[in-house]
A and B are shown apart, each in its own frame.
Chain A
């Protein structure tokens, strides 16, 4: 099997994109990615769109075909990839499969979501619609899962509440250097700890915002990549996995089995381990998720991720393992279908040396995209071309 390369990437401004809808956002990222990769639209053979809920948010379906027309990429094969919050990561997996299988020599992946025209309650309900009926009828939301899990984690592992606030502080600090981030503003621990309660013990700054935005990646076989550039990234490991759909049925509330399984699969495929990762983008939809993914991916022992955060290990400029150099979902924003793709965009830019003021010394990067509350997860490892 020929290695799969990434030769281009793009990301729109994340935030409140008033008057722009899902087709506008997807087209913006798609055109920019074609230009970044130097690929003609009619050379795109497969076009994947990662999107969770354009039908529910906007009453707009059929977006992949609309995008193919808007990009003038016909007759490219199109497919929508919906895996809730991990639609973007699932899109990377689908795009990788399309190239690795030999079915496509040029695959464009565009992820996007339009959300901010809905109220917070309405948007929360669209997202909560992924829950089991036994959860939904109680008004269970994704933020409430985070509150339940955070309390258990803090009590069980005697972790200080401030350690979660430090995740938010770090990711906001990183977001300042990302011109496409929704928030480009530093916060301090006190601000985070004094913000309004959303799901006790978690507060406003423990949560990502509701966001409009889109991101894109261009994938092709390595032999084709060399026709376009000598500076590309390779996907050397990728895997996806699920955990129980009913969250409380998990044996250990602090272990996300989908993170562990997909991480192990990606490590095995790449021949890498946690110690080889130079930079990581983790799905910090809630601050507690950064701890759970660090532990599930082997960056820390169970119950000890908070100690690495407290020690500064995950800081961008001074840490051994910079996490969420993009600002993460926390600062950059979380347009559901775009987020996993945008994680890939950040790791790609870090690997090829195009991350600007966010640049760290990285040859091997990892991104972990979480759907639901760990219900489905994709982990991807990228490396610099040799």
Chain B
């Protein structure tokens, strides 16, 4: 399992990747963010969650530093005991929400991914 970010030909990195990056740059490689730790930029605990989503659902925006470039990601957290500035690492989860319980077609996307766990 990998948490793939995309590096572009101008050196910038995004998660998720896009067919074209900042300034029209082209993708050149993927980087597995699960090998890195990140810092919590902000977080929230949502108590009104849609069908198939755990309740409550703590989410965080985190920032990785990869070879001097910063890249942000959003994801569930393993705990609601979080503070801005905490160091976290990605932990793989087979199913982040129940496919088919919500409005989106289950086959249209993947449902596994990474939660952020305080280091």
- CB <8 Å contact, A136 and B48: no
Shortest beta-carbon distance from B85 to chain A in Å: 10
B111 within 8 Å of A (CB atoms): yes
In the complex, which residues of chain B have a beta carbon less than 8 angstroms from the beta carbon of A126? 103
Interface residues as binary, B48-63 with A (CB distance below 8 Å gives 1, 0 otherwise) = 1111111001011100
Q: How far is the CA of A147 from the CA of B56 in the complex (A)?
A: 13
Shortest beta-carbon distance from A385 to chain B in Å: 44
In the complex, which residues of chain A have a beta carbon less than 8 angstroms from the beta carbon of B46? 139, 141, 143-144, 147, 198-200
- CB <8 Å contact, B76 and A139: yes
Q: How far is the CA of A143 from the CA of B57 in the complex (A)?
A: 12
A141 and B50 contact, Cβ closer than 8 Å, known pairs A56-B103, A151-B42: yes
In the complex, which residues of chain B have a beta carbon less than 8 angstroms from the beta carbon of A148? 42-44, 59-61, 74
B72 within 8 Å of A (CB atoms): yes
- CB <8 Å contact, B50 and A122: yes
Q: How far is the CA of A155 from the CA of B42 in the complex (A)?
A: 9
Q: How many residues of A contact B (CB 8 A)?
A: 40
Who on chain A is nearest to B60 by CB? A148
- CB <8 Å contact, B103 and A134: no
Who on chain B is nearest to A151 by CB? B42
In the complex, which residues of chain B have a beta carbon less than 8 angstroms from the beta carbon of A200? 44-46
Q: How far is the CA of A48 from the CA of B5 in the complex (A)?
A: 41
- CB <8 Å contact, B50 and A121: yes
A227 within 8 Å of B (CB atoms): no
A249 and B14 contact, Cβ closer than 8 Å, known pairs A138-B59, A151-B84: yes
- CB <8 Å contact, B51 and A129: no
- CB <8 Å contact, B103 and A144: no
- CB <8 Å contact, B61 and A129: no
Shortest beta-carbon distance from B7 to chain A in Å: 14
A138 and B44 contact, Cβ closer than 8 Å, known pairs A121-B50, A148-B59: no
In the complex, which residues of chain A have a beta carbon less than 8 angstroms from the beta carbon of B49? 121, 124, 139, 141
A196 within 8 Å of B (CB atoms): yes
A140 and B59 contact, Cβ closer than 8 Å, known pairs A126-B103, A151-B43, A248-B72: yes
Interface residues as binary, B30-46 with A (CB distance below 8 Å gives 1, 0 otherwise) = 00000000000111111
In the complex, which residues of chain A have a beta carbon less than 8 angstroms from the beta carbon of B52? 139
With A201-B44, A247-B74 known, 14 other A-B pairs at CB within 8 A are A121-B48, A125-B51, A125-B103, A133-B16, A136-B109, A137-B97, A138-B57, A141-B50, A148-B59, A151-B42, A197-B47, A198-B47, A199-B47, A249-B14
Which residues of B are at the interface with A, using a C-beta cutoff of 8 A?
14-16, 41-54, 57, 59-61, 72-76, 84, 96-97, 102-104, 108-111, 113
Which residues of A are at the interface with B, using a C-beta cutoff of 8 A?
56, 120-122, 124-126, 128-129, 132-141, 143-144, 147-152, 155, 196-202, 246-249, 253
